[in-house]
Structure 1
Amino acid sequence: MMSKVEKLTERLQGIEIRKKSLGLKASVGGIGSTTAVSERRRETTSLEDKSLVYGREKDKEAILQLLLKEDESVSVSVIPIVGMGGIGKTTLARLVYNDERIKGCFDPKLWVCVSDDYDVVRVTKAILEAFTSDANKLETLNMLQKKLNEKLSGKRFLLVLDDAWNDNYADWDVLRRPFMHGAPGSKIILTTRLRNVAKITSTLCPSQLAYTLNELSKDECLSLFAHHALARPNFDAHPHLKEIGEKIVNKCKGLPLAAKTLGGLLRNESQQRVWENISDSKIWDLPEQQSNILPALRLSYHHLPSHLKQCFAYCAIFPKDYAFDKGELILLWMGVGLLPLSTEKKQMEDFGSEYFDDLLSRSFFQQSSAFESRFVMHDLLNDLTLYIAGDICFMLDKLVGDKQIEIPEGARHLSFLRQRFDGLQRFRPTYKRQHL
């Protein structure tokens, strides 16, 4: 009896640790209640970062062309920039916002961080505060929008709405009303992780509703990493660190946030042993007070509805760089009971297709560059699935010599990479696990 109590206590302690690591708070309420997230995205600023930015010149020129293009079909153009967390959307918007070529084209220029705590009144007030300190005296949305309308009326403005999450069209329709009275040629740049936000806000052509920001090339990522680690864009002064530096950058898979963060952790550190420790670490092993990679990616996960959280976590069964088929994944979701039962109007596959498309639009999946009909996850998002799934999903790696693989007791889903000479020995550990 005591052993069962001890096991239960140990399990509850594990749940408590994971609750804290995922930033969850206890919430009082029934079915309609929501789980609060303690972790909030920090405010962004329009002030230019004087440190070098690598690999974004083409992206910058493309956005500048859209900004300077005259479009008589709409009074105010909205240009969404879409990409996964940490890809550099805010950095790109900041580069454009501070470019000399647009300084005489727009007056006023405004920057507002929308963030995940979306509220029409708060965002409207934040925009108005760029003009006047009297915004705090205005309490109702009507008063705020009338005042903002006065300030923008007849002016050719540039507004950056950074980090937008709300994909409710009715909310956007209310927020944008004061903007419609700006002078022709006014522009709004909106950065978001969600393609659905781009759909409801964009004024670009239907074939390209948003500007999709992609990962940096390996060389660009390496230069960015070296800049933050060694205060120079190369390893000329530290040739002994180049090989291990390239291994670290391979972990980043072109994500600027990861290159910048890992470079910052190694700032002015020249001991190869320390670099090797970072190279061998998983993202959740890094000191969180110094690393913002996991919190940035985790924020996207927090914004998922519960049914999508389960479906995304299940993807921990896939190895890195695995190109999966949409239909294949939907069938797997069906097989483990993650999809609603069929109804008169919808089959189970239809629900699965909706779930998949939603995760794709939120940048959790991306089109494979090698196979047009398949999809992949960024390596760091793959790491995130492993972190979230914990012991529930387990990958059976190849045997190293005669070493037995210990499968966690709580493992429910098991996957393996087929080897040329698979033997029974490899699967022997599975017979002890009753929950697979």
Structure 2
Amino acid sequence: MAESFIFSIAESLVGKLVSQAFERASRVVGVYNDMLGLKDTLSFVKAVLLDAEQKQEQNHQLREWLKQLKCVFYDAEDLMDEVECEVARRDLIKKHGSTKRKVCRFFSSSNPVAFRCRIAYQIKEIKDKLDKVAADRNKFGLEVIPFERRVVHKREMTHSYVSDLDVIGRDDDKKHILDLLLKKINEVDGKSVSVVSIVGLGGLGKTALAKYVFNDNTIDGVFPLKLWVCVSDEFDLKQIMIKILNSAPTSTNLGKLEDLDVEQLQKHLRDVLADKKFLLVMDDVWNKDRVKWEELRNLLQVGAHGSKVLVTTRNRLIGSMMSNGSFYSLEGLSHQDSMSLFLKWAFRQGVEKNHPQLVEIGEDIVRKCGGLPLALRTLGSSLFLKFDVKEWEFVRDNEIWNLDQKESDVLPALKFSYDQLPSYLKRFFALFSLYPKDYIFNTSFGTLPWEALGLLPLPNAGQTVDDLIRECLWELQSISFLEEFVDRGGFNTFKLHDLVHDLVIYVAKDEFQCVNSRNSHIPESIRHLSFMENELLDKASIPTGVRTIVFPQGGEGANSERFLNTISTYKYLRVLDLSFSKYETLPHAIGKLKHLRFLSLEDNYYLQKLPDSLCELQSLQTLIFDECVDLQTLPKRLGNLINLRQLRITTKQSDFPEKEISKLTSLELLAVSGAPVESLFQGLELANLKALYLRGCLSLKSLQLDAQHIPNLESLSIAWCPELELSNVLDDQNSKLRLKSLTLFNLRKLVTLPQWLQGYSYSLKSLFIMHCSNLEELPEWLTTMTYLNKIVIKNCPELISLPDGMHNLINLERLQIINCPELCKRCKPHEGQYWPLISHIKYVIIDDESIISMEH
């Protein structure tokens, strides 16, 4: 477990070395040929790392070898960053002209020849270290293992029997599944068999629920033929057909099925199922290949009309694919049911009444299980026939991952899901370990620094960083690692299940550490740190190679002058998040952190000034000083931050630096709040800007965005700008329109939607209108915006009607209307006068009452 990310690091290094961007950078500084030699050595070592990762748990020497290797890899990453920093420096000189006094003074210490010699020497040092470490690979007997053949721990095969007494708290879930299985369906496209999927986290009890349903007497009367198959292993058509046939009552007449070919097996399968109404349970499905599923599904269609397939899977994407977009999402048990299940496994029946103190401790143990039946059973069983208070307190006070586990317990169940992840996604997932339990993650404005830390995979052609992040989050959500996942239009909020949080702490503990009073010692191997308690910062001995220091929102922020005065010693920092800190300014030395890519000063209420040296950080990709309400002026020469992709600022400065911001040609997101100006963005030109957010500009009357100068704007949000007239915000004449999401929040001058919005009828997908107290109507032309997928209207009391043509919005999947009294009454499901206009929409939410108007 200790070096679980090393293959991912090697993969990232090799990928970067062969990328066009880095090839250009290495040629610019004259070390291209030197880097080629490093790439060959890295590729040679990478080839055996999967084998090494799998063998390390049984071999202490191998673990030490991997630790040495990882240190060399990190040196290589730092060196490659050094090259990119130098290229950014030269690009800035070229852009501004090397004769300018300030730029010359800024960069006078650099010498291209000396730099090339130094980097070439360091490359040789790293290559020699790699060669030396790699030479030891043979003594460990390491082999080359292709990634697709890596070993993962498979779960045991399941069977169909369960005692009703063993299933607690699932009666409502059982009823819902039975309703879906017994529901009559119309034959669609000649399909006689339909599919119901149960989706949820490992250990949640999907298999137990499926057994509970499978053995219900009602099922016996409806489905004369019942079949149970545990898929689990690779989705091989031949093996699955054999399993189905072995599950059939007539299997004894078919001979040795393993000796038959696919053609013979499919004939037998069709004979067994032909014209019979059957229920087939496919337990623990991992196959994402739709072609393989459709091949099997076609064979099953010989069954009688009304036959059903019940699927259990941890992956939402699989559940959706197999059941045509509809699945049942299984949730955790209630606390009361959780307690009942725990006590069942921890005591003989009725004995718990004699041990009230243990039951009280059990309440705390149950909370840490987060409603997962397998965890409740695991911890309950571990305490069975143990009546010592100290033993119960040990289980209560320790992370679940530190407790003894059996193969069938919850830890392997969750770890199995983790093991299936691609290597890059494991490091992506590890970042969550820096945040406390129950933390609400928010992906708006790039507030999580995956890109800055190099934790994203290399993009495919046309993919953006945001695309990559959404893809990674979707993969984690699809296996139920993320819960309460909400799409809020342009960004998502979510949290981790408590046991998933324990998992990420466990797998990331050698590189990532959340420092608190119970875990304050920081090993030298740690590269990423978060501090939840301010006073620990002065006491902490932070490794000089640290790359991340964060103060998560909800913590206390930083207030240590000692830390601030020594910040430049952490020269490899990529991420510095000082949110909620109490500093009035930052030291000039912050300009020495040339590797820094992410800097957040959000909610620094006492911050009054920022040093101009901040603008020497050419590697910076994200700069946040949002809600710094006392900040008097912005640092000079913001335009020097040539790699900046995201900028969020709050300022009291009246002369807004539009010329400097226009120099930020890489900028993709700009958020401005609290600017005391009447007019903004007269001629602002940012060709790559995709998102613009304005908030709390109380004097703002005029906002002019020329779509020719900002051609790629996709998301626009305007909030708390009471004097703003929206009629002239966008000039859509002779422009290529791209706007996809529009949010209008607390705009008192908004009476109807601005006419320019009509020009986005072929691009706009999301429309959010909230707290607009004077909004009176939605224009009829809104119904021509057929790309709209989501409309949210909240707290607009004067809005009482909908356009007549709402039925034309054929792609509208979600309509939410909250706290609009008269309009909510008129949209009431099945009763309101506007219901016929909106009943075609998949999800209609009226005053928080969710209605699924069509079964999909």
The answer for the alignment partner of 2:791 in structure 1 is none
Letter in 1 for 2:270: N
Match of 1:41 among 146, 155, 161: 155
Matching of residue 225 in structure 1 with residue 347 in structure 2: no
The answer for the alignment partner of 2:265 in structure 1 is 144
Match of 1:180 among 301, 314, 324: 301
Deviation at 1:270, TM superposition (A): 2.0
Counterparts of 1:26 and 1:168, CA distance in 2: 35
Letter in 1 for 2:355: H
Matching of residue 377 in structure 1 with residue 496 in structure 2: yes
Question: Which piece of structure 1 moves more, 310-319 or 244-253?
Answer: 310-319
The answer for the alignment partner of 2:505 in structure 1 is 386
Matching of residue 194 in structure 1 with residue 315 in structure 2: yes
Aligned ranges 1:93-172 → 2 under 5 Å: 93-131=210-248, 132-133=251-252, 134-136=255-257, 138-172=259-293
8 Å Cα contact 2:522-2:542 kept in structure 1: no
The alignment of Structure 1 onto Structure 2 pairs a total of residues equal to 407
Q: 1:193 to 1:342 in 2, by over 3 A?
A: closer
Deviation at 1:49, TM superposition (A): 2.3
Counterparts of 1:321 and 1:164, CA distance in 2: 29
Letter in 1 for 2:545: Q
Instruction: Provide, for residues 378-418 of structure 1, a one-character-per-residue CA deviation record: whole Å limited to 9, x for no partner.
Output: 11111111111122001121x58xxx93211111111122x
Deviation at 1:314, TM superposition (A): 2.2
Q: 1:52 to 1:329 in 2, by over 3 A?
A: farther
Counterparts of 2:477 and 2:141, CA distance in 1: 30
The answer for the alignment partner of 2:523 in structure 1 is 408
Match of 1:280 among 372, 397, 400: 397
Counterparts of 2:417 and 2:322, CA distance in 1: 20
The answer for the alignment partner of 2:173 in structure 1 is 59
> Is the partner of 2:451 in helix, strand or coil?
helix
Determine which structure has greater relative contact order: mean sequence separation of CA pairs < 8 Å that are 6+ residues apart, divided by chain length.
1
Counterparts of 1:270 and 1:30, CA distance in 2: 48
Deviation at 1:374, TM superposition (A): 1.7
Deviation at 1:123, TM superposition (A): 1.1
> Is the partner of 2:387 in helix, strand or coil?
coil
Instruction: Provide, for residues 153-196 of structure 1, a one-character-per-residue CA deviation record: whole Å limited to 9, x for no partner.
Output: 10000000000001100111122222101000101100000011
Q: 1:290 to 1:237 in 2, by over 3 A?
A: farther
Q: 1:291 to 1:279 in 2, by over 3 A?
A: farther
Q: 1:124 to 1:323 in 2, by over 3 A?
A: same
Counterparts of 2:313 and 2:173, CA distance in 1: 16
> Is the partner of 2:439 in helix, strand or coil?
coil
8 Å Cα contact 2:513-2:528 kept in structure 1: yes
Match of 1:303 among 397, 402, 420: 420
Question: Which piece of structure 1 moves more, 115-124 or 299-308?
Answer: 115-124
Instruction: Provide, for residues 111-151 of structure 1, a one-character-per-residue CA deviation record: whole Å limited to 9, x for no partner.
Output: 01001333221111100112313252543222111110111
Counterparts of 1:27 and 1:194, CA distance in 2: 33
Letter in 1 for 2:174: K
Deviation at 1:86, TM superposition (A): 0.4
Deviation at 1:269, TM superposition (A): 2.1
Deviation at 1:48, TM superposition (A): 2.0
Counterparts of 1:26 and 1:217, CA distance in 2: 50
Q: 1:254 to 1:71 in 2, by over 3 A?
A: same
Q: 1:234 to 1:192 in 2, by over 3 A?
A: farther
Deviation at 1:331, TM superposition (A): 4.1
Counterparts of 1:362 and 1:110, CA distance in 2: 26
Deviation at 1:284, TM superposition (A): 2.4
Q: Note the residue ranges of structure 2 that are not aligned, 5 or more in a row.
A: 1-58, 68-139, 548-856
> Is the partner of 2:353 in helix, strand or coil?
coil
How well do the aligned residues superpose, as a CA RMSD in angstroms?
2.7
> Is the partner of 2:149 in helix, strand or coil?
coil
Matching of residue 70 in structure 1 with residue 181 in structure 2: no
Letter in 2 for 1:304: L
Letter in 2 for 1:61: K
Deviation at 1:283, TM superposition (A): 2.2
Match of 2:467 among 350, 354, 358: 350
Counterparts of 1:219 and 1:426, CA distance in 2: 40
Q: 1:29 to 1:237 in 2, by over 3 A?
A: same
8 Å Cα contact 1:330-1:349 kept in structure 2: no
> Is the partner of 1:334 in helix, strand or coil?
coil
Counterparts of 1:224 and 1:292, CA distance in 2: 15
The alignment-based identity, stated in percent, is: 39
Please tell me whether Structure 1 or Structure 2 has the larger radius of gyration of its CA atoms: 2
The answer for the alignment partner of 1:21 in structure 2 is none
Q: 1:233 to 1:305 in 2, by over 3 A?
A: farther
Counterparts of 1:258 and 1:243, CA distance in 2: 18
> Is the partner of 2:172 in helix, strand or coil?
helix
Q: Note the residue ranges of structure 1 that are not aligned, 5 or more in a row.
A: 1-8, 18-24
Question: Which piece of structure 1 moves more, 232-241 or 280-289?
Answer: 232-241
Q: 1:343 to 1:148 in 2, by over 3 A?
A: closer
8 Å Cα contact 1:54-1:224 kept in structure 2: yes
Counterparts of 1:36 and 1:291, CA distance in 2: 18
8 Å Cα contact 1:125-1:135 kept in structure 2: no
Deviation at 1:282, TM superposition (A): 2.1
8 Å Cα contact 1:138-1:144 kept in structure 2: no
Q: TM-score of the superposition, structure 2-length normalised?
A: 0.45
Aligned ranges 1:419-430 → 2 under 5 Å: 419=533, 422-423=534-535, 426-430=537-541
The answer for the alignment partner of 1:22 in structure 2 is none
8 Å Cα contact 1:227-1:233 kept in structure 2: no
The answer for the alignment partner of 1:435 in structure 2 is 546
Q: 1:236 to 1:143 in 2, by over 3 A?
A: same
Letter in 1 for 2:537: R
The answer for the alignment partner of 1:244 in structure 2 is 361
Letter in 1 for 2:483: Q
Counterparts of 1:327 and 1:144, CA distance in 2: 52
Deviation at 1:278, TM superposition (A): 1.6
Counterparts of 2:388 and 2:407, CA distance in 1: 19
8 Å Cα contact 1:330-1:353 kept in structure 2: no
8 Å Cα contact 1:392-1:410 kept in structure 2: yes
Match of 1:324 among 441, 452, 459: 441
Counterparts of 1:266 and 1:94, CA distance in 2: 27
8 Å Cα contact 1:224-1:259 kept in structure 2: yes
Matching of residue 254 in structure 1 with residue 368 in structure 2: no
Question: Which piece of structure 1 moves more, 257-266 or 234-243?
Answer: 234-243
Counterparts of 2:350 and 2:283, CA distance in 1: 28
Q: 1:10 to 1:167 in 2, by over 3 A?
A: closer
